Structures are given as C-alpha cells and as structure tokens.
Chain A
Amino acid sequence: MLNTDLNLAAPDDVYEALVALHRDLTPEQSRLVNAKLILLLANHVGDAEVLRQAMAKARAGIAPAGRDGTRPVTA
C-alpha cells in the first residue's frame, strides 16, 4: 500500500536536494537524471503493486494532451 503520509524525517532537506540535483542541468539532462532516479527507487521499493499505485497517483488529474510514436494499423 502506497504511503502518502509523511515518511521523511527532514522533508525540506529532501525536497531541496531534489531541486538542487537539477540546478545546472539542461532539460534533457534533467529528464535522464529523473529517469535514473525513478528506476533506482523503483528497484529499491520492489513492490510492483506499490509502484502501480504511485504511477496512478502521479498521473491522476492530468488530461492526456500528447501522443507517442505508435500508430494503429490494419492489414
């Protein structure tokens, strides 16, 4: 079960560290760092159900306005 209550002893320190991580990066570099961070944390968490709940929480309230490179095809 995803814990959405405070679980950090020093929340401001952690938030600051997340922001500081990107201070001198381009958007593309930031995207790579964030991706690495997510993969490292996902593996550390390990519980696929918790990860799915976190993914759903992260997506909630965002109306899709993009599309990816795949296209439906009929043959």
Chain B
Amino acid sequence: MDGSAARQTDYQALVLDYVRSPDQDAARPVRHPVIVVGAGPVGLTAAIDLAQQGVPVVLLDEDDRLSTGSRAICFAKRTLEIWDRLGCGERMVETGVTWNLGKVFFRDEPVYSFNLLPEAGHRRPAFVNLQQYYAEGFLLERARALPHIDLRWKNRVTGLEAGPEGVALTIETPEGEYRLACDWLVAADGARSPIRKAMGLESRGQSFRDRFLIADIRLEAEAAAAFPTERWFWFDPPFHPNQSVLLHKQPDGVWRIDFQLGWEADPVAERQPERVIPRIQALLGREARFTLEWVSIYTFACLRMERFRHGRVLFAGDAAHGVSPFGARGANSGVQDAENLAWKLRLVLAGQAPETLLDSYDAERVLAADENILNSTRSTDFITPKNEASRAFRDATLALARDCGFARSLVNSGRLSLPSTYRDSPLNTPDTDTFAGPMVPGAPAADAPVRRGGEAGWFLAQLGGGFTGTYFSDGGALPPALLDALRSLALGPVPVQPLVVAPPGLPPAAMPGLTILEDSEGLLARRYDARPGSFYLLRPDQHVAGRWRHVAPALVQAALARAIGQDGGTAC
C-alpha cells in the first residue's frame, strides 16, 4: 500500500509561483462571476466543482505552498465520493491508506471495536488516511487540468467591500496592490478567516482546556508490522498514564500519534524532540527505529458563525465552523459545504434559480455544522472530561465496558464523520408515499454496484453533475407515455438526467435516449426501498430531493422547482 517516495511529487516542498495576472494592469477592477479565497481542500473543491460545471472561477491564496505537515488525515467516504464526481477520488484512494476498523483500549485491555462500513457493495471505504498535502496536491492538479480556473498564488485579500450587487476586493501581491470585483465571493480562508474579520463577523462557541501533541513518525517496517491499518485509541494506557493516545497509519510508512497532554503542558517545551521521542519510545519500545516527520501542539474549540451567507459572501469550511479533531469532521464537512454551494451558485449565476436558493446553503450547512459540533463536543467531553463528575462517568463507562455491552456503546473516542441528512430542508419535497429506510428526502444518495451496458460500475458514478431522475423498472419494456415522460425530463432548462434501473439478472432492453442500469446485486433497490415504479429525484450534490412510488411528471417538475428554490412554480 505504501509507495516509494519517488512515485509522488513532494507536495510539501512544492512552491507555487506567483504569476502576474492581466487583471493587475486593467484600468478598472475586472469583475468575475465567482472568486474563491483560500486554496485549501475546501476552496479547491469549490473551485473545481464550479469550473467543472462551466463557471469560471478565480481562486486566490495568500501563500505559495500547500499544507505543511499532514494535518487533516482522515478523509471520509462521502468526501471521496464527492472527489470521485470531481475526477480525483481514485488518486486519493490509490495513495491513501484504507481503513474501516477502530479499536479502543482502556489501560492495556481492548474494550471496544467498531467497523465503520460493515456491509459490502460500496465503491469507497469508510475512510482513507492521507496527508493533507497529498489531498491538496491531487486537487490542485485536477484544478489545473480545468480551463475555467484561474489560480493566483501570493494574492492576499487586504480590503473588501460587500454590497447588494457584488463584492469589491483589494489584493496585495509581490508586485503591489490591485483591485477585483465579483458577483459572489466564497470565503474558504480557514479558521482565522481574514474575510470574516474584514467584515466584522465572528465565530462563537467554546474552547476546551486541554492540549494535544501530534507526532508524525516514519517507522521502519518491522516495528510497523505490530500495528494493523486500524484506528487505535487508548484511554489511560500504561505508556502514557491518565491521558489518551491515538495511533493511525498514513501513506509512506508514516504514523500519526496523537498524545493528550493536559492543560498544564508547556506548548513550547513539549514540541522539542527530547520531550517527544521518549513519549514515542514509551509506546513503541526503546529499540524502535523511527524518524520524526512533523510535530505540532494544538488546542481546539467548537464554534461557528451565526450564518454562513452574508449577502454575496458565502463562508465555507473552517472559516464558517470549527470542531475538535476527534471525529474527522473538519475538512470532511468543509468539502461537503463546497459541494452544497457549487451547484446552487451555478444555477443562480445562470439565472435559473433565485438568489434565495443560496439561503438554503446557509440552512443546510448550518444544520450540518451543528450536527458536527454536537458529535465533536460529546467526544471531547469523553476524552477531555470537564470536571470531576464527568471524569467519574468516563472512567465508570470504561470500567464497565469490559463486561457490560451497554457501556461499550457509550465509549466515545470520536464519532466519525458521516454526511448530514438535510431532513427539514426547504428544498425537500416531503414524502406522500410510504418508504422505509434511511433514503428520506434530504439524505445523501447511497452507492451500490450496477452494470451499464454489461460493464460493472457504481451507481454514484452514473449521476453526472446535474439533477438525476432514477426510475426503478420491473425489467420489461416501458409504456410509451412513461418513456416520453422520462425523456422530457432531460429537455427542461434545468435538465433532469433520467436513469432506468432494471432488476438483477434481467438484461434490460435498450431504450433510445435513456441510460439503463442493471441493479446487479439488487442492493440499489434494497438501499432505496424501491419497488418497480419507484422514482427518486436526486440533486446535483446527490442528496434526495423527492421520491414517489409512481412517477408523475407534474410531481417531478414541482419537486424540481422546489429544489431550486422556486416556491410552488414550475422550473423556468
């Protein structure tokens, strides 16, 4: 799984050259439809998604480097599925370390283990571990392959005027200042968000009185063999008493070790190798041979902005919300912000949806942030007890977990990132028919194996970049009226790509103008609780907009109008 060092570009060392833009010589500020600020995982995802949909994007970054250090290392299934749609998921998975299993130890005994993807029939695993610089490097290369992205390094936003008609920016470069204007500004400029500050906005929440040490080490093969590719978490282990430790594998023979240090720890002294190395030797043994790759001390807070949309400025990722790292909910939720926003911006820019569609970005992603903050805060309460009573409950849970099943469910070393279901979104068309299972309106679409023209593939890979209408057939020929109705979905100004799903084993008859998928293992129908006649309308971000037991074009058109923020009317 680990490749040779020569295989990959050294993304940490990459210097991204500042290039003078013709905009810097323009007599008046050049206006662009969308400017994204911040070329981290979130800004790059947003820019690629927009550009892939044909929207020209200017992407500004104040620096000329990708991530230093591994930073966000756990990329979740949903993030990989988004990056699949953006054409760079495969590289992430090829290079990343795939894992589904987590184990929790109390002192030196295993007390709990969990499998985050207990069922087969999914293209992507629960997680891959991948250094952030690889993720950014692969996104960058994808961005560079797209004609609509104008990447500008060493472009720092120093001034901002946001008005009802657009945003004016002052930008500092190595060659002096220039001005730009845009219809929409996406602020993906990180936890300290200069854009947020420039607008006088705040992110609020709570901080936790604890410090953690990250030590990334490169481990020699024989020492590494003792640890499988699982997430191992210790509470109060003999080698680091009274605190927690997390061990996790990354590509290139690198291991992430995360030591809880407590609030009293000295953040400067603790990052010195003479303090770090003995901690690692206590875990691995004095004879273990390793080199330090990256050391960092961190504290954290759970916080968010009150709103993510401020007129023509849209905040995404850490700029909008922050969580503790236990749960891998930072970068993953930011990537989901970007994908939620991209299709809405495109429709608004094209004049096909009202500006108020962007309020649904705020509603859906604020809800998602709250869900992430709730989960993250609960994990933090368990890992970093806030007072003597919460410490007693934590220790009691761990002690009971050895022989009481209920207590194992309470052990919380991080509830790992899952995509949010936008259950009460104004874009959903509520069910009028009865369905079972999790694929409710607002849910992210589940994957399943399918065959297309005899070729094995995956359902999510068939969804394209727009709305999709998935019709579950009985495998027989469709009545002409239904064929016409499905084909007509693709002809509107906001087209809905029709997909016809046939049951397993029935070689579906070709239907001109329609894509036919065989539900090769019957898992698609099972996961969607579909019967012949069932129909799902999926949004461009692959969330369910509406579903019916029998397709009626008027219902689909009304649901489409609702999903693009046009109340009550039909799609324009």
Q: Is B205 an interface residue (CB 8 A)?
A: yes
Q: Is A17 an interface residue (CB 8 A)?
A: no
Are A75 and B303 in contact (CB-based, < 8 A)? Answer: yes
Are A72 and B202 in contact (CB-based, < 8 A)? Answer: no
User: Which one of B267-275, B388-396, B438-446 contacts A?
Assistant: B388-396
User: Which one of A4-12, A32-40, A49-57 contacts B?
Assistant: A32-40
Are A73 and B205 in contact (CB-based, < 8 A)? Answer: yes
Query: How distant is the Cα of A35 from the Cα of B385 in the complex, in angstroms?
Result: 14
What string of 1s and 0s marks CB contacts (under 8 Å) between A56-69 and chain B?
Answer: 00000000001011
User: Which one of B287-295, B403-411, B561-569 contacts A?
Assistant: B403-411
Q: Is A23 an interface residue (CB 8 A)?
A: no
* Residue positions of A touching B, CB distance < 8 A: 31-32, 34-36, 38-40, 43, 66, 68-75
20 further A-B pairs in the complex, CB-CB below 8 A; given A38-B393, A72-B204: A32-B399, A35-B392, A35-B393, A35-B395, A36-B400, A39-B396, A43-B406, A66-B387, A68-B386, A68-B390, A69-B263, A69-B386, A69-B387, A70-B386, A71-B206, A72-B206, A72-B207, A73-B207, A74-B303, A75-B196
B79-130 residues with Cβ-Cβ distance < 8 A to A are: none
Which residues of chain B have C-beta atoms less than 8 A from A72's C-beta? 204-207
Q: How many residues of B contact A (CB 8 A)?
A: 33
Residue of B nearest to A73 (CB): B207
Are B396 and A74 in contact (CB-based, < 8 A)? Answer: no
16 A/B residue pairs, CB under 8 Å, sorted by A: A31-B388, A32-B392, A32-B399, A39-B400, A39-B406, A39-B407, A68-B387, A69-B210, A69-B386, A71-B207, A72-B204, A72-B207, A73-B206, A74-B202, A74-B303, A75-B196
Query: How distant is the Cα of A71 from the Cα of B207 in the complex, in angstroms?
Result: 5
Query: How distant is the Cα of A74 from the Cα of B207 in the complex, in angstroms?
Result: 9
Are B203 and A74 in contact (CB-based, < 8 A)? Answer: yes
Which residues of chain A have C-beta atoms less than 8 A from B388's C-beta? 31
Closest-CB distance, A27 to chain B (whole angstroms): 9
Q: Is B131 an interface residue (CB 8 A)?
A: no
A36, A68, A69: the one contacting B396 at CB < 8 Å is A36
Are B393 and A73 in contact (CB-based, < 8 A)? Answer: no
Closest-CB distance, A48 to chain B (whole angstroms): 13
Q: Is B28 an interface residue (CB 8 A)?
A: no
Closest-CB distance, B424 to chain A (whole angstroms): 22
Closest-CB distance, A70 to chain B (whole angstroms): 4
Are B392 and A39 in contact (CB-based, < 8 A)? Answer: no
Given A32-B392, A75-B191, does the pair A39, B206 have CB atoms closer than 8 Å? no
Q: Is B397 an interface residue (CB 8 A)?
A: yes
Query: How distant is the Cα of A69 from the Cα of B203 in the complex, in angstroms?
Result: 20
Closest-CB distance, A64 to chain B (whole angstroms): 12
Which residues of chain B have C-beta atoms less than 8 A from A70's C-beta? 206-209, 386
Query: How distant is the Cα of A6 from the Cα of B292 in the complex, in angstroms?
Result: 63
Which residues of chain A have C-beta atoms less than 8 A from B393's C-beta? 35, 38-39
Are B204 and A74 in contact (CB-based, < 8 A)? Answer: yes
* Residue positions of B touching A, CB distance < 8 A: 191-192, 196, 202-210, 263, 301, 303, 322, 384, 386-390, 392-393, 395-397, 399-400, 404, 406-407, 410
| Minimum-distance CB pairs A-B, first 3 | A35-B396, A68-B386, A35-B392
Closest-CB distance, A18 to chain B (whole angstroms): 16
Are B397 and A39 in contact (CB-based, < 8 A)? Answer: yes
Are A69 and B400 in contact (CB-based, < 8 A)? Answer: no
Are A31 and B203 in contact (CB-based, < 8 A)? Answer: no
Which residues of chain A have C-beta atoms less than 8 A from B206's C-beta? 70-73
B301, B387, B395, B410: the one contacting A32 at CB < 8 Å is B395
Residue of B nearest to A39 (CB): B396
Are B205 and A69 in contact (CB-based, < 8 A)? Answer: no
Query: How distant is the Cα of A18 from the Cα of B398 in the complex, in angstroms?
Result: 22
Which residues of chain A have C-beta atoms less than 8 A from B395's C-beta? 32, 35
Closest-CB distance, B79 to chain A (whole angstroms): 24
Given A66-B387, A68-B387, A73-B301, does the pair A40, B404 have CB atoms closer than 8 Å? yes
Closest-CB distance, A40 to chain B (whole angstroms): 7
Which residues of chain B have C-beta atoms less than 8 A from A34's C-beta? 392
Closest-CB distance, A28 to chain B (whole angstroms): 8
Highest count of chain B CB atoms <10 Å: which of A36, A40, A72, A75:
A75
Query: How distant is the Cα of A69 from the Cα of B386 in the complex, in angstroms?
Result: 5
Which residues of chain A have C-beta atoms less than 8 A from B209's C-beta? 69-71
Residue of B nearest to A75 (CB): B203
Residue of B nearest to A43 (CB): B406
Are B208 and A69 in contact (CB-based, < 8 A)? Answer: yes
Closest-CB distance, B388 to chain A (whole angstroms): 6
Which residues of chain B have C-beta atoms less than 8 A from A38's C-beta? 393, 396
Query: How distant is the Cα of A12 from the Cα of B203 in the complex, in angstroms?
Result: 54
Which residues of chain A have C-beta atoms less than 8 A from B263's C-beta? 69
Which residues of chain A have C-beta atoms less than 8 A from B400's C-beta? 36, 39-40
Which residues of chain B have C-beta atoms less than 8 A from A71's C-beta? 206-207, 209
Which residues of chain A have C-beta atoms less than 8 A from B196's C-beta? 75
Highest count of chain B CB atoms <10 Å: which of A35, A38, A43, A66:
A35
Query: How distant is the Cα of A75 from the Cα of B192 in the complex, in angstroms?
Result: 7
Query: How distant is the Cα of A72 from the Cα of B301 in the complex, in angstroms?
Result: 9
Residue of B nearest to A70 (CB): B206
Closest-CB distance, B329 to chain A (whole angstroms): 17
Query: How distant is the Cα of A35 from the Cα of B393 in the complex, in angstroms?
Result: 5
Query: How distant is the Cα of A70 from the Cα of B191 in the complex, in angstroms?
Result: 19
Closest-CB distance, A55 to chain B (whole angstroms): 12
Residue of B nearest to A67 (CB): B387
Query: How distant is the Cα of A43 from the Cα of B408 in the complex, in angstroms?
Result: 12
Query: How distant is the Cα of A33 from the Cα of B307 in the complex, in angstroms?
Result: 44
Are B389 and A31 in contact (CB-based, < 8 A)? Answer: yes
Are A32 and B396 in contact (CB-based, < 8 A)? Answer: yes
Are B301 and A75 in contact (CB-based, < 8 A)? Answer: yes
Closest-CB distance, B401 to chain A (whole angstroms): 10
Which residues of chain B have C-beta atoms less than 8 A from A32's C-beta? 392, 395-396, 399
